[in-house]
Amino acid sequence: MDIEDAIYKRRTIRRFKQKPITYEILEKIIDFARVAPAASNIQGLEYVIVHTPEMREKLFPLVRWAASLPQNERVPEVNRRPTAYIITLVNTNIKKSYFDYDIGAAVENMLLGAVKYGIGGCWMGAIDAKGIRALFEIPDYYEITHVISLGFPDEESVVESYKESFKYWKDDKGVMHIPKRALKDIIFKIY
């Protein structure tokens, strides 16, 4: 798969088949993050891989799902939950500022890299960092920034033209619709 295919294929996925992701693939996905750009090349990002059923179950209530959807459509059903998670940390002993840029580049590398393996994901910022810190015994000098939920997709997500609202929605067949502005509308000027 070439990079253009991966970029257009990558969509947020929140429902997953219950096929496990191998540790080797999860490690490779983190390796994609490792080589992402970092401001001043100060590499303060670190990761927690969560793939055992016991720990996935404990982490699940510490993340929030799909705020734009109605309450009854937000949370994945028990048999469609993520089969792995990657928790993104900033080691503040290494890097104290400008890490937001690093996180964006690293997470996008992970999400695009996951597409190569047929894996979908959801980049989650609405998390209970305090609960995650306690569950995984993460020292205070780490900032817990995001959780990436991962698995083999068990839903379809499609891009559609923006019409009055940025809110994503599901149709009666369960297909997620993601409004995106047209290319001509985001090019501010041409010189």
DSSP letter string, 8-39: HH--B---B-SPPPPHHHHHHHHHHHHTS--G
What is the three-class DSSP state of 141?
Answer: coil
Q: How confident is the model at residue 69 (pLDDT cuts 50, 70, 90)?
A: confident
Q: What is the pLDDT of residue 169?
A: 87
> Residue 67 carries which DSSP code?
T
Classify residue 161 by burial, with Cβ atoms within 10 Å: 0-12, 13-18, 19+. exposed
Q: How confident is the model at residue 116 (pLDDT cuts 50, 70, 90)?
A: very high
Q: What is the pLDDT of residue 12?
A: 94
Q: What is the pLDDT of residue 115?
A: 97
Domains of the chain, each with CATH number or no CATH: 3-155 (3.40.109.10), 160-191 (no CATH)
Q: How far apart are CA 131 and CA 124, in angstroms?
A: 15
Task: Tell me if 117 sits within 8 A of 171, measured CB to CB.
Answer: no
Residues 6+ apart with CB under 8 A from 151: 13, 16, 17, 18, 19, 21, 81, 82, 83, 84, 119, 120, 121
Q: How far apart are CA 103 and CA 119, in angstroms?
A: 20
The mean-pLDDT minimum among 25-29, 88-92, 96-100, 180-184 falls in 96-100
Q: How confident is the model at residue 67 (pLDDT cuts 50, 70, 90)?
A: confident
Model pTM score? 0.93
